[in-house]
Every structure is written in C-alpha cells, then in structure tokens.
Amino acid sequence: MTYEVVIGLEVHAQLLTQSKMFCACGTKFGLPANSQTCPICLGMPGTLPVINKKAVEMAVRTGLALQCRIGEQNRFARKNYFYPDLPKGYQISQYEAPICEHGAVEVEVGPAKKPVRIRRAHLEEDAGKNIHEAGANGSRVDLNRAGTPLLEIVTEPDMRSADEVVAYLKMLREILMYLEVCDGNMEEGSLRCEPNLSLRPVGQKEFGTKVELKNINSFKFVKEAIEYEIKRQTKVLNEGGKIAQETRLWDSDKGETATMRSKEEAHDYRYFPDPDLVPLSLAPEWIDDLRKTLPELPAVRQRRFVGEYGLPEYDAGVLTGSKALADYFEACVRLFPQPKTVSNWVMGELLRELNQAGLSAAASPVGPERLVSLLQLVEKGTISLKVAREIFPELYASGKAPEEIVKAKGLTQVSDEGSLGKIIDEVIAKNPTQVEQYRGGKEAVLGFLVGQVMKSSGGKANPGKVNELLKKKLGGLG
C-alpha cells in the first residue's frame, strides 16, 4: 500500500518584548536562575496579571503579515494542568477567541508555490524550566522563562512532505524576523515547532490518526524526525496495526521518536475564561495603524529585487533570505550600482565566510563600504578579478582595507604599456612558431600568447590590455 503523509504544524514563537506577558519582569535569556521573577509570575495567591501591550502589538503585526483576520474581541483562558514549571497550576492562553485567524503563507517548494493555511495564532505565556542534572540530588526549577509571551501559530493540515514543512518553517521564521517580533533561534528554543503527522492511503479523503512530535530544535531535525515517523507509521500500517494517537519525543542521538504520553483532549484542560483578565478589545484604527507600518516582507522584497535590480529569481531569493542580508546587499548597491556583480560577491565570497562563522550579515566584519571598495579596485583596473577573489578571505579575517592588502602584497595589476610591452616582446621572441601561426591566420593562437604573458607577469597583467597590445605588436592577420 502507498500512503500520503499529511502534516500540520504548531509553532511557538517567543515574542521579543522587554518584559513578560503579565508582569514587569525582564525576558533576557541566560541570567541566574529565578532572578527574573516576581509574585505574579511565581503564581502567588492574590496577585493580578496585567496584559503587555507590546506583546499584543507584536501578535497583531504577525497576524497581519500572515494575512489573518484580527480578532477585535479577545478573551484569555486558563489551561489547567499540573507541572513543577507552572506555579499557578494553569497557563494563561487563548482558546475560543484567538487574536489571529484564517491566514495563509505562500511557500516555495522547488519551482512550485503553494499556500499553507494558518488556522489560528494566539497569545499565551511560557512555562519555566525543570533542570535535571546528572548526579544531582533531585531536580530544580528555574522560573525565569515563566510568563514570557508566546505566539502559538497553528496551520491547517496542508503539508504533504518534510520538504514542504521545512519550506514553510523557513518562510515563517523569515517573516517573524523581518517583523522583529522573534529572534528565530531554534537551538535556544525561541522558535519551537511541533509537527502533527498522519498517513492515509493515496486517494482516501479522510485523514488518518495523527501523532504529535516534540523536542525538535533545528531544521535538520525537522526533516529527520518527519522522515523517521513516516517510515515508522508506514510499517505499523503495513503490518495491519493501528496508529496510537499520542505525543512522541524526537531523540536526535538515536535518530528515532519514542512515546512520551498518550494525547490529551482539550476537555482535559478544563479551559475557562480567566476571571482575572477583562476581555481585550482592539480598536480597528489601531489595527489599521499597525497595518500601515508593516515592513516590506520577504516575498515582496524578493519580487522587487527581480524587478528593480534585474536579478535572477534565485539570487533574489537567497539575498532576501534574511533582512540583514537584504539590507547589506542594498547598502552595497547604493554605493556601487551594479546589482549582479554585487549579488555574485555577496552570495559567493561573503556568504561562504559568514556561513562558516555562523554569522548574520549584520555582524559581518567586512561592511558594505569595505566590500564596495574592493569592487571599485577591480572596476578601476587596479587589481584583477582573480586577485580580488584571492584576497577576500584575508580582507574578511584581518579587518584591513583592501588597498592596504593590495599594496603590502604588491598585487597591483600591471596596465601600463611600458612594462607590459617588455613582457610581450619577450613572449613574442620565445614563441616564434606560435607567432608564425597567428600571422598565418590561426587566430586561436592569440589565447595561448595572452596566457604566456599572464604567466610571466605572475597573474598581475591586465588581460584586456595584454590582448590589445599583443594584437598591435603582432600586426594584422596575414
């Protein structure tokens, strides 16, 4: 039997607010345990939550960018469960009236484009962290993260392969980062993704029983976990078994998923409106104002890069892959208006170094001015393209100006007729046979002679000039 895979995603994005969702505590990562807490996020009796306006604003901006309908009447609900990292015994979330609904993200899979529908996105608070140290006498609880604002973004079950999921997740992450509402860091857990996955026989309309996957903290693991789970479920079904509806944990060391718990139902959580929070109404004018100040989003910027700069789709896609890189590219083009040349350098030499160092373009040790001054040296003929490529790693590593490196290494391109003329005369004298052939009409031999001149100049001769001078000295074709 052949099966089709059906996948829907739940993504939790930590919002980049200064303070928590319902109290004034800070949200910085990596501070001493429990130093970012107060009676509200510790769940002390008698304390009252107050909604963080910035978090609401970020949720609305994200909803607008995801083409959602924004709910003007918002309710917060208590989701009740017990766990040591949840001191109140409930999480404040949204259930019946989420802040965003019915959106879509256009996803590119190979040459095809496909919409993935957003079912809803709602605001909630994060839990703390339980710390289990090897050899420790018991476990500890750090509540610094408790109460950090989260936006949970849920898709319809629209994806049909691991590649589609990765493409959706990349696009969603780009959008969140363009909006500056989330730092997108999957390793640190600021962006967490939980795929829901089921199989059905090809041609069948009803969905199969789904499994929810957790503990996936990189794009690589998203793909591996989904592919593992497809194989596992296929095997179960082919052996006549049934898929248990459950939550499974990805184990990246073993490359496997394993049962964590059987899936709970919504009614297990006893959702009810939080009596401590009045309904939140959003003014339509405020939503409109936020709509007007949305930045240019990745897909739109990509289209503009094709139209305005005449770049290939591919280049435009890579360059708009992050806001920092797209900004870097545009800063260069303002100083050096040759978009395709700039694109080649940014996508080639620069990205190679940045990726190796795991750096964003915003943190590049070679800024746009530096890169442009290198391009200008090539443009003016001071150095050859080959030399420019060769010195780029040094430019990147040393922080020196390109002029300085060129001077120190004596790499200046030789273009003056005097010095070139001498080398050319020598080459002509040493290669009488080829010179004869050229004069006899064998034009292709010119390339060989140019090569000889380049070689004896140590690669520094200006090839255009060499061509021109050689032709002049050899005279017309016989």
- Work out how close the CB of 75 gets to ligand ADP at its nearest, in angstroms, rounded to a whole number: 18
8 binds, among Zn ion, ligand ADP, none (CB under 5 to 8 A by kind): ligand ADP
For ligand ADP, the binding residues in 125-164 under the rule CB under 6 A are 154-157
Shortest Å, Cβ 33 to Zn ion: 14
Interaction of residue 38 with Zn ion, rule CB under 5 A? yes
Q: Is 97 in the site for Zn ion (CB under 5 A)?
A: no
Kindly tell me which of 6 and 260 has the beta carbon lying closer to ligand ADP.
6
What lies within 8 Å, CB to CB, of 223 at 6+ separation is 162, 163, 165, 166
Binds 23: which of ligand ADP, Zn ion, none (CB < 5-8 Å by kind): Zn ion
Q: Beta strands 246-251 and 256-262: pairing type?
A: antiparallel
How many Cα neighbours within 13 Å face the side chain of 343?
18
CB of residue 121 vs ligand ADP: minimum separation in angstroms? 11
Nearer to ligand ADP, 205 or 254 (CB): 205
Choosing among Zn ion, ligand ADP, none, which partner's interface includes residue 207 (Cβ < 5 to 8 Å by kind)? ligand ADP
- Is 318 a residue that touches ligand ADP (CB under 6 A)? no
Q: Name the residue among 57, 15, 298 with its Cα closest to residue 152.
A: 15
Name the one range near Zn ion by CB under 5 A: 32-40, 101-109, 127-135, 442-450.
Answer: 32-40
41 binds, among ligand ADP, Zn ion, none (CB under 5 to 8 A by kind): Zn ion
Nearer to Zn ion (CB atom), residue 125 or residue 164: 125
Stretch that binds Zn ion, among 25-33, 104-112, 234-242, 264-272 (CB under 5 A): 25-33
121 near ligand ADP (CB under 6 A): no
Cβ atoms < 10 Å from Cβ of 426: 13
Binding flag, residue 51, ligand ADP (CB under 6 A): no
Asked if 196 is part of the footprint of ligand ADP (rule: CB under 6 A), the reply reads: yes
9 scored as a contact of ligand ADP (CB under 6 A)? yes
Q: Find, among 327, 406, 107, 210, the residue nearest to 346 by Cα.
A: 327
User: Least separation, in Å, of the C-beta of 71 and ligand ADP?
Assistant: 17
CB of 77 to ligand ADP, least distance (A): 14
- For the CB of residue 9, give the shortest distance to ligand ADP in the complex, in Å: 6
The residue (of 25 and 449) whose beta carbon lies closer to Zn ion is 25
Q: Does 210 bind ligand ADP (CB under 6 A)?
A: yes
- Nearest to residue 108, comparing CAs of 193, 28, 169, 25? 169
d(Cα 453, Cα 424) in Å, to the nearest integer? 6
> Could you tell me if 395 and 388 are in contact, meaning their C-beta atoms sit under 8 angstroms apart?
no
Nearest approach, Cβ of residue 114 and ligand ADP (Å): 15
Q: Which long-range contacts (CB under 8 A, 24 or more apart) does 395-400 make?
A: 395/366, 395/370, 396/350, 396/353, 396/365, 396/366, 397/365, 399/365
Tell me if 7 contacts ligand ADP by CB under 6 A.
yes
128 vs 195, which CB is nearer to ligand ADP?
195
Q: How far is the CB of 26 from Zn ion (least distance, A)?
A: 9
Identity at 418, one-letter amino acid code: G
Q: Who's near 327: CB < 8 A, 6+ residues apart?
A: 361, 362
Q: How far apart are CA 465 and CA 462, in angstroms?
A: 5
72/69 Cα distance (integer angstroms)? 9
Q: Read off the DSSP letter of residue 294.
A: P
Beta bridge partners of 191: 13
Q: Are strands 191-201 and 69-70 parallel, antiparallel or unpaired?
A: unpaired
Vertex 182: Cα angle to 88 and 48 (nearest 5):
25
The residues binding ligand ADP (CB under 6 A) are 6-10, 154-157, 196-198, 207-208, 210, 263, 266
Which parts of this chain interact with Zn ion (CB under 5 A)?
23, 25, 38, 40-41
